[in-house]
Structure 1
């Protein structure tokens, strides 16, 4: 073979290798692109530092990540969550209390946020709570008689919570000479625990479901004017377009139902994990594993 023919042969071989590599590279890129298209996107979930909210958000994180989704928590107060949903910065909020506690948020964002018509818990209750050893106090109307004993304070939690807004309405409606002191749910529960240990007067806004009712002797004060309403139900809310982008997740969460036993056992598992110095999700993982039949009902299995 002459030198020119050898040279031409080498050039043809090099071109062939380059073309084959290019074809291979294109196929690999297409596969990667298809792989990415098949990946399920990350869901931005709102979370509030309330015991039941920590429990259910971690439960859904476990369930959804078992199904191939990624879930990121956004620890925000209720007002910020609703604004984030309205502005497409958040995908879902798992806890909207109606018809009373979060009614203002529904009124404000009804055209910008999708409020589900499906409830996941139907036996909620909200009101002012005192330790049972305060035997002379039975009603919200009694509070002004003992204003000095309580230092004129109602120990509250997150300032953006619907219950805190309604509690301010309670103060006005009953003409209470009290100030509502905001903090956080953990701080409020700690104040409640400390007061009970010392058998001191304390009044706090609380709700069912909540673990404290199984841990402390407490009673709701009667609310004759029904400012807190009667039975509350818990719903979820999503940003506009969520159901179209996440149809199966939307359907699963609409199917989600919990009774007192289910939510109580979930909260207990999460609390145990936290008491052992573990993350809440460890308790949620255990609960999901032990209640797979119920979870499968939500997932239509």
Structure 2
């Protein structure tokens, strides 16, 4: 039961690249290359979404809110959605501006995929017992926990290996806020971070990201297992179909609950790095990710950036409505 792990726009997560179903033979080398190519393509296509989301996460709102109406007809203030925000970026930086920070992000995604493939070869999925309808409750739960531990190992390893490039990508993107050019290339950025922050500078924000991944994997897998075991009747004609979608639905629900970990991790990656987006007034200088979490919680901003379309102005930042 491989759980979803890769971050998608809005905080959702998708199945990790290159992870096959239980018992499926290891992909040949050509297939692994195909996974990498497809992953890079998806990363490029989704990059504008992640770019806009990151700018919203750091609190950059270059456009004023507009007055709209909710379903009850009451006047409310809405912040610009993805399309309006993306249009603003194009007006400032041109169409290619939507792909700022793409190169290190593709490298990060590729490293993650390769790491997963390596871990799968060292700890083959075929060596594990997979859940069967013939298993009793105790046996099936044991197998689920074992499979989840295997997926957690792959996810944590890939996260650690790819995180330095994730940090570089985040910093390249948030330079839009202050119009800086401090991080312009992968190699120059590596040298700058190492010189200014040391080796630990490549791993800022790693802990909340890993915690979010672990909580997501275990909650998603365990909840899906219990729902499939106790809520889905084997006598129902479409029981197998329902079970196949349970994990997907659980993934969407759990990803929203674990979104604050993603937000805090991204904010810590750019905090106090010399860029406007990581300094006051956009953000206080945090000494730890726990302090960042507490600050966002006190401000009611733990889910900032989780929505890219209908973005209502928060109660903490109300404007008068004429």
TM-score (norm 1): 0.29
Choose between structure 1 and 2: higher strand proportion.
1
Whichever of the two has the greater Rg, that structure is 1
